[in-house]
Amino acid sequence: MAFEDFQNRDTSRHAQATTTDVLFDAGLRRHMIGIFNYMFAGLALSGGAAFLLLQTGAASLFFSGPGQFTPLGWVAAVPVRSTRRITPIPTPAPAI
């Protein structure tokens, strides 16, 4: 079995990309690049904060030993649960 057996050379069965498809793909690509840029910025910010925390000795505010939190460390590590409830936006019923 050769690689050529798996190549699809019959393009008559496939629809050609329309202008709408190309615009949708370009918009989706732009949106995803924006999302990835935000993710990278968050990763860089958290990495930079961790680096500065360790280099300046400020880690002693949060840790008293390996795996031992100070009271401020517990405040920073334990997530706070919000009591505010987010109500969903009602959507109109579909027209029949």
Return the domain boundaries, the chain.
19-77
Q: Provide the strand spans (E) within 4-90.
A: 63-65, 68-69
Q: Is the pTM of this model over 0.75?
A: no
| pLDDT recorded at residue 4 | 62
Alpha carbons 14 and 46: distance in angstroms, whole number: 46
Whether 72 and 61 have beta carbons less than 8 Å apart is answered as: yes
| Chain segment 10-48, per-residue pLDDT in tens | 555 555 667 777 777 888 889 999 999 999 999 999 999
Which is nearest to 77 in space by CA: 69, 86, 65? 69
